Amino acid sequence: MTRRLASLAEVADQYDAIVLDQWGVLHNGSVPYPDAPATLTALQAEGTRFAVLSNSGKRSAPNAARIAAMGFPHALFAQVMTSGEALWQDIAAGRIAERRLFPIERAPGDAQVWADGLDVTLVADPAEAEAILLMGLPDGVDSSEFEGVLATAMASGQPVICTNPDRASPRADGQVVVSPGALAHAHADAGGTVRFYGKPHLPVFRALELALQAAPERLLMVGDSLEHDIAGGHKAGWSTAFVEGGLHARHFANDNPDNALAALVTESAVPAPDFTLPRLQ
């Protein structure tokens, strides 16, 4: 049964580390959530160890820098792990054969920054690629703009490597934008080949366990996505805490929180979280 928390402090001492999602938990893409920096700073002072696990197509370092720029000191987090970092490491280690990639990115230049240090070529024509790198989407983009690229991949058998499995992501003022996972899942449903990096897929959870030197049962995943954070954490054997004020905030605005959570769990067909809390506090 899900236990409702008023604060992470109620359970923090039960874990070797608390792992936090980024968007929807720490910040909304523009500013940190009001209580988040102070909450983490106070808990760290009492001995709690924190890490970040994010479905970001970018590498760990730029994500750590973004988080720090929003008021979260670097020293707060023992590790920052991203799905983009996991792919970079796999390519660097020779576990990925494709070396000619056509990037779909949130902002021009994101893929070039991500690829620094890798023996890969970013191509401007998808027909010349060995794989499509789906790492981000510009906010407000019409996903139909990429139908031609994905049709080329389907026809040629090119794999789509998706480093952000999120279907949607919260932004300021309660907005929710389409994320790369929506395109990737639609492509897979149509018969295309997709390789996913990030939550809820187990490899990124196992990589963070190794980095933290912590057993699964001693980790708590805190996130706002039932599909990615909660389902992935549950599959990994971690405890899970669901934040109501992120991606699904609108569902909790005018309903009893227990009823809203039950409806979302049923709709998403995922296990219920161990804990729930209104926001990171």
Alpha carbon distances (Å) from 224 to 56, 99, 142, 192, 244: 15, 34, 24, 28, 6
Cα 208 to Cα 124: distance, rounded to the nearest angstrom: 34
CB 192, CB 153: distance < 8 Å? yes
pLDDT at residue 273, as a whole number: 97
Q: Is the pLDDT of residue 172 over 80?
A: no
- pLDDT tier at 1, thresholds 50, 70, 90: confident
Does residue 170 surpass a pLDDT of 80?
Answer: no
Confidence of residue 97 (pLDDT cuts 50, 70, 90): very high
Q: Which of 60-64, 66-70, 173-177, 260-264 has the lowest mean pLDDT?
A: 173-177
| Percentage of residues in the chain having pLDDT higher than 70 | 99
pLDDT digits (tens, 9 = 90+) for 197-226: 999 999 899 989 999 999 999 999 999 999
Q: How confident is the model at residue 174 (pLDDT cuts 50, 70, 90)?
A: low
The pLDDT, as a whole number, for residue 44 is 97
Tell me the mean pLDDT in the region 189-194: 95
pLDDT at site 173 = 66
Phi, psi of 222 (to 5 degrees): -110, 120
More confident residue, 172 or 262: 262
What is the dihedral sign for C-alpha 99, 102, 107, 112?
positive
Reported confidence tier of residue 233, pLDDT bands at 50, 70, 90: very high
Global pTM value: 0.88
Distance CA 86, CA 171 (A): 25
Q: Which two tokens stand for residue 84?
A: 């983009």
142, pLDDT greater than 80: no
Average pLDDT over residues 55-72: 93
